Amino acid sequence: MIELENVGYNYGGGELLHEVSVQLAPGSFHFLTGPSGAGKTTLLKLCYGALMPTAGRVRAFNMDVHGLDRDQMAYLRRRVGVVHQDCRFLDHLPVIENIALPLLVSGRELSHEEANLQELLNWVGLSERAHALPPELSGGERQRAALARSVILSPDVIIADEPTGNVDWEMSQRLLQLLVELNRMGKTILVATHDLSLIRAAKNQVQARVLRISNRQLQLAGADL
Amino acid sequence: MTEGRLRKLILGDAQADRVVPPSGFTAQLTLFVSGAMAFLTVFALALSMASGRLADQWAEELARAATLRINAPAEQRAAQTEAALEILRQTPGVATARALTGEEQAALLAPWFGAGVPVGDLPLPQLIEVTGDDAGYDAQGLRLRLQAEVPGAVLDDHTRWRAPLVDAAQALRRLAWVSILLIGGATAAMITLAANAALAANAQVIEVLRLVGALDSYIAQAFIRRFTLRALTGTAVGVAAGMIGVFLMPEASAEGGFLTGLGLQGWGWLAPLLIPPLGALVAFAATTRAATKRLGELS
């Protein structure tokens, strides 16, 4: 699905990532962990093309992201669902329209997707809040709405950046549950988190691999978590 | 642009339109400026058409009309007038030649001397009004012949003051066209600035749209459509106001001179109706350019 080959990334003030290689196989579940500022978000952005590597190659769906023009990049984003750290909604549109936004921008007929949309809202437990504006939602509701938006186009890969960053334990369990369900449906999942208890909780339910960034390198963490 | 895209642009996509938040104040400014520009364009257009009309009219009237002045002692005046009329009748290209009566000459002088002056008693030269036909006559040949046969006759074909008048009218028309072009350019500049401001103000929205896989063309369209429709509405209102203004100008009249002829006539009334579509086209091009450039700069 997504392959990083000796990828380096340099913000200008020194190298943040060095010789990073990883393959996200179809149907796999990966956690990405590491201290704050280690480059978790950067690595995720490299995976969905929001950043270009300064060294090495990133391949997504067998295409080198370096060679993609802006339109091809947009088509790539439709195949990768992203749950941003701070969610990123259009604050002037109600939740339901924000969730349906990927459908809208890819030119799908919204009336045909009405049933899917309702089902998705039920799944993330936001049916009651469908017509609220994003700023009116709680942290957990925002994260669930962002997750619903990321999966509405039925992407092959879902990348989530600290989806449980500012929600309580119960809510993070619920979000994890949703991600696990998606993985069971065959989606490739990559979740950045520094919450080790979340990773432990996941390991009971799904075969997840844990990648750790330390010293600018990516390491496969053992079962010692 | 594909037909589908064009249709979408005109009919609109109410859903797609909502992805960009409404912007109250800049929208009003765009409307106001495009309205004001359209209003000015109507006047520039009316000026250009009127001055063009004047130039043609003056050139034509003056080219065909000439005056023959007979400066002769009182006792010879009648005979010389008769001889001159005879020559004029024989000259090819002269449609009519008519000696003005005493009353007509007095009427011509009335604005200078007042009505009470007995101009009939003054030793005035006799004036003959000469009108050429469409082909025109040979003024130089006529002059030579008159010189030989009617020594007191002076032919004035108005060339002396015709040329500067026609030049002035044509210069006026050129100025009006330059003004229209400048107004068009200023409108394009204003829309570009407004579109850039809107794109900058909505950087967050654009980022979200890119994140969920929107093509640049989709994002651009939301802005293009908005500014095109605003320009169309603004110019339509401006043109309507401008046309009412022109309509309320006094009718062309002899007393008012050429100033009162500065309106639109006949088919000319249709010309301002082209301004809103052209304004919309300018806005479309300016926004497309601004959006393409701006979006290309984003990651």
Q: Please write the tens of the pLDDT for every residue from A168-179.
A: 888 888 889 889
Most confidently modeled of A79-93, A193-207, B126-140, B230-244? B230-244
Per-residue pLDDT at B258: 56
Task: Write out chain B residues lying below 8 Å of A113, CB-based.
Answer: none
Q: What is the pLDDT of residue A94?
A: 92
What is residue A51's DSSP assignment? S
Mutation choice for A interface testing from B8, B205, B210, B211 by most A CBs within 10 A: B211
- The pLDDT value recorded for residue B7 is 59
pLDDT given for residue B33 in this prediction = 92
Which segments of B119-245 are extended strands (E)?
Answer: 126-132, 153-156
pLDDT along chain B (299 residues), means of 10: 55 68 80 93 89 78 79 83 87 84 80 73 82 78 85 79 80 90 92 89 88 88 88 94 87 56 77 91 91 81
- Determine the residue type at B195: A
The answer to whether the Cβ–Cβ distance between A90 and B212 falls below 8 Å is no
φ/ψ of A53, rounded to 5, equals -65, 145
pLDDT averaged over every residue in chain A: 87
pLDDT of residue B41: 93
Query: What would the two tokens of residue B99 be?
Result: 């000696």
Whether chain A has a CB inside 8 Å of the CB on B2: the answer is no
CB–CB of A105 and B295 under 8 A?
no
Average pLDDT over residues A5-22: 86
Q: Looking at residue A184, what is its pLDDT?
A: 92
Query: Among candidates A49, A39, A46, A64, which has minimal Cα distance to A217?
Result: A39
Predicted ipTM of the assembly: 0.85
3-class DSSP state for residue A188? Answer: strand
CA-derived radius of gyration, chain B: 31
Task: Please say if the pLDDT value at position A106 is more than 90.
Answer: no
What is the rounded CA–CA span in Å between residue A50 and residue B216? Answer: 15
**CA-to-CA distance for A177 and A158, rounded, in angstroms?**
14
Residue B204's pLDDT is: 87
Kindly state the tokens that stand for B263.
């309106």
Determine, for residues A77 and B21 on separate chains, whether the beta-carbon distance falls below 8 Å.
no
* pLDDT for the residue numbered B1: 45
Residue among A81, A93, A106, A70 nearest A1 (CA): A81
CB contact under 8 A, A84 and B211: yes
The CA angle B274-B253-B160, to the nearest 5 degrees, is 95
Pick A105's closest partner by Cβ from B204, B213, B295. Answer: B213
Position A84: which residue type?
Answer: H
C-alpha separations of B222 from B12, B85, B199, B205, B298 in Å: 9, 76, 11, 11, 17
The answer, for B203 touching chain A at a CB cutoff of 8 Å, is no
Cβ pair B16:A78 closer than 8 A: no
Q: Which helix (H) or strand (E) holds A159?
A: strand A157-161
Residue to mutate among A66, A86, A105, with most B CBs inside 10 A, is: A105
Q: B21 in contact with A at a CB cutoff of 8 Å?
A: yes
Contacts of A22 (CB under 8 A, 6+ apart): A3, A4, A30, A211, A218
The confidence score (pLDDT) of residue B35 equals 94
Mean local confidence (pLDDT), A47-76? 88
Please give the pLDDT value at position A224.
Answer: 46
Structure token digits, residue B67: 């005056």
pTM: 0.72
Kindly state the tokens that stand for B83.
């001889």
The closest CB to that of B214, out of A74, A88, A89, belongs to A74
CB contact under 8 A, A149 and B212: yes
* C-beta atoms of A104 and B15 within 8 A: yes
| The pLDDT of residue B6 | 56
When scoring A97, A98, A101 by the number of chain B Cβ atoms within 10 A, the one with the most, hence best to mutate, is A101
